[in-house]
Amino acid sequence: MREFLDQIRAAVAARTGIDVDALRLERPREAHQGDVALPCFQLSKALGKAPLAVAAQIAEQFAGTVSGVTAQAAGPYVNFRIERALLAKSVLEHIAKAGPNYGASNEGQGRTIVVDLSSPNIAKPMHVGHLRSTIIGAALLRIFQRLGYRTVGINHIGDWGAQFGKLVAAIQRWGGELDLEQDPIRALLALYVRYHEQEAQDPSLAEAARAAFRELESGKEGEVRRIWRRLTELSLAEFEKTYRRLDVRFDLVRGEAYYEPHLNATVERIQRAGVTEVSEGALIVDLKTVDKTMAPCLLRKSDGTTLYATRDLAALFLRWDEFGFERCLYVVGAEQKLHFRQLKAVLKRMQLDWEPRVEHVDFGLMRLPEGKLSTRKGQVLFLEEVLDACVQEAGRIIQEKHPGLAQAEQVAEQVGIGALIFNDLKRERAKDVVFDLAEVLSFEGETGPYVQYTHARLASILRKAPSDWRSIQADLAGLENAGPILLLLGRFPDVVVQASKTAQPSEISAWLLALCREVNHWYVENRVLGVEPGLSSARLTLIEGCKAALSNGLNLLGLASPEEM
């Protein structure tokens, strides 16, 4: 597909003398207008004519230059159309050759993308915000990898802060009653809540908590640190269960505590830049010169302890020094917008020219409708329960639609988890996600199961095809009415690039949904098997290309593509 666009631009440039870089092709607003459009507004100057006249001139001069491509002026646009058999040959051959690597390129070669993702807090259950971060972050990692970037996925575990003083003190006080083997996170959470409540009546508890955190920050190797370390290990083991089901791996698991040894150097680095000041005993960076309304960034409290932001700055400097990243993406909910604006503002005040490479990839809330999976007040929702509910429901539907399916359990896991992931990635990430079990698992509509089911349907057609169909010369002229499908297939490499630029996995999901709609529509009107062999072979080639591309896109988002479901 790209080669046609390049040929078109080269031909127009050669005929008109316009610089090829000034020729920007876009998608026509209406599909019937053409395959690609050249808007002529910007070209008026170059040719000294009004856009309408420019379009007419280009269409006329283009005629006959690129074989198989025709041009037509429509108002201030030139619309180009690529002959279907030619388009089919180019696109389908490309997919067949690239296989699972269709859409891959090496444009990112030699450059590194750091993605900060998931980052739950220890001693608490991972919540739906962390789930969104995990799903979006993992998709972005795969998208960048496909484009040849080196990626570093970092899980910035929340394992530091005054709350752990409280928890350690609680364990010291009541730990004997605690069963940390069975369900450690639930037990710890209950313990924390209990301590928090009793603190109000007994101020000595608050003091004990502060003392424990002071000891933790001092770096002393004693009981406090031992307990804290155990908390971390127990929590990570719990998180790992969710990661395994989502098939997510990290390159680095570095909790906030990891940066403890770097904190002094970090604060000094910022001080040396001359942007710190002391305010009410605390060390701060004033950010009003960056944004009048922005609160200062607190680096060190008056009692000497550091903060979330200090540790994030330490992490960021280390990432820059270690990876010299092209972009460092923080996949974190929109509620932390101010925090990341402040981090960037500190970099700006330090006049670090790599500040624009740091991006907050924010996302909206995930809302659960009232009902079985809702979080009632004071209760937390355990992610494992959400995942289980999805898989169970998927299993039920599959059993109903396809009794006796081989490996039904594995497919249920793939469909259930896939439904959850797709529901998260199907809209721009800033939008809130509503999680409705019946809706996300529906086989129709904009869902993961719908895309997976379309894929399985194509697989089933290919299974039924005569075994020798590939040796029969395909009559590609028979794909005349498959234009929309071919164009979508051809666009995929650009869709992946676009998803990387905007850090929007929804570019891929929207493309997948569009392709499914077109394929399902086309399939109703075009028989694939039992027609003239050359025609059948052409249609099977198309089906095979679509199947490969669907599986490809699903894979980028983190969904499996079962052959049967």
Residues that bind ligand ARG (CB under 6 A): 116, 119-121, 156, 158, 312, 330, 332
Cβ of 251: how many Cβ atoms within 10 Å? 14
Q: Looking at beta carbons only, is 61 or 305 nearer to ligand ARG?
A: 305
Least Cβ distance, residue 335 to ligand ARG (angstroms): 8
Least Cβ distance, residue 168 to ligand ARG (angstroms): 18
Name 135's Cβ contacts closer than 8 Å, sequence gap at least 6.
246, 420, 421, 424, 425, 558
Q: Looking at beta carbons only, is 334 or 408 nearer to ligand ARG?
A: 334
Q: Looking at beta carbons only, is 121 or 537 nearer to ligand ARG?
A: 121
Least Cβ distance, residue 419 to ligand ARG (angstroms): 25
Least Cβ distance, residue 382 to ligand ARG (angstroms): 16
Short-list 534, 529, 487, 533, CA closest to 511:
487
**How far apart are the two ends of the chain, measured CA to CA in Å?**
32
Q: Looking at beta carbons only, is 66 or 257 nearer to ligand ARG?
A: 257
- DSSP β-bridge partners for residue 81: 70
Extract the tokens encoding 210.
Answer: 């502060």
Cβ of 70: how many Cβ atoms within 10 Å? 15
**Angle, alpha carbons 70-489-426 (nearest 5°):** 130
Least Cβ distance, residue 120 to ligand ARG (angstroms): 6
Extract the tokens encoding 425.
Answer: 């990635």
Q: Looking at beta carbons only, is 332 or 488 nearer to ligand ARG?
A: 332
Least Cβ distance, residue 39 to ligand ARG (angstroms): 41
Least Cβ distance, residue 355 to ligand ARG (angstroms): 16
Q: What is the DSSP string of 164-188?
A: HHHHHHHHHHHGGG--TTT-HHHHH
Q: Looking at beta carbons only, is 35 or 312 nearer to ligand ARG?
A: 312
Q: Looking at beta carbons only, is 156 or 457 nearer to ligand ARG?
A: 156
Whole-angstrom CA distances from 442 to 128, 368, 378, 438, 484 are 21, 17, 31, 6, 25
What is the Cα–Cα distance from 398 to 400, expressed in whole angstroms?
A: 5
Q: Looking at beta carbons only, is 192 or 450 nearer to ligand ARG?
A: 192
Least Cβ distance, residue 244 to ligand ARG (angstroms): 20
Least Cβ distance, residue 61 to ligand ARG (angstroms): 55
Q: Looking at beta carbons only, is 285 or 332 nearer to ligand ARG?
A: 332
Q: What is the DSSP string of 411-440?
A: HHHHHHHHHHHHHHHSS-TTS-EE--HHHH
Q: Looking at beta carbons only, is 312 or 393 nearer to ligand ARG?
A: 312
Extract the tokens encoding 516.
Answer: 């499914």
Q: Looking at beta carbons only, is 119 or 452 nearer to ligand ARG?
A: 119
**Angle, alpha carbons 78-79-85 (nearest 5°):** 145
Least Cβ distance, residue 517 to ligand ARG (angstroms): 36
Name 380's Cβ contacts closer than 8 Å, sequence gap at least 6.
124, 125, 127, 189
Whole-angstrom CA distances from 237 to 10, 68, 183, 189, 461 are 57, 59, 11, 16, 43
Least Cβ distance, residue 303 to ligand ARG (angstroms): 22
**Angle, alpha carbons 215-216-218 (nearest 5°):** 65
Residue nearest to ligand ARG (CB): 158
Least Cβ distance, residue 142 to ligand ARG (angstroms): 20
Q: What is the DSSP letter of 75?
A: T
Q: Looking at beta carbons only, is 155 or 504 nearer to ligand ARG?
A: 155
Q: Where are the beta strands (DSSP E) in 66-133?
A: 69-74, 77-82, 112-116
Short-list 113, 116, 112, 111, CA closest to 340:
116
Going 271 to 276 to 282 to 286, the CA torsion angle's sign is: negative
Q: Is-contact 168 132, C-beta < 8 A?
A: no
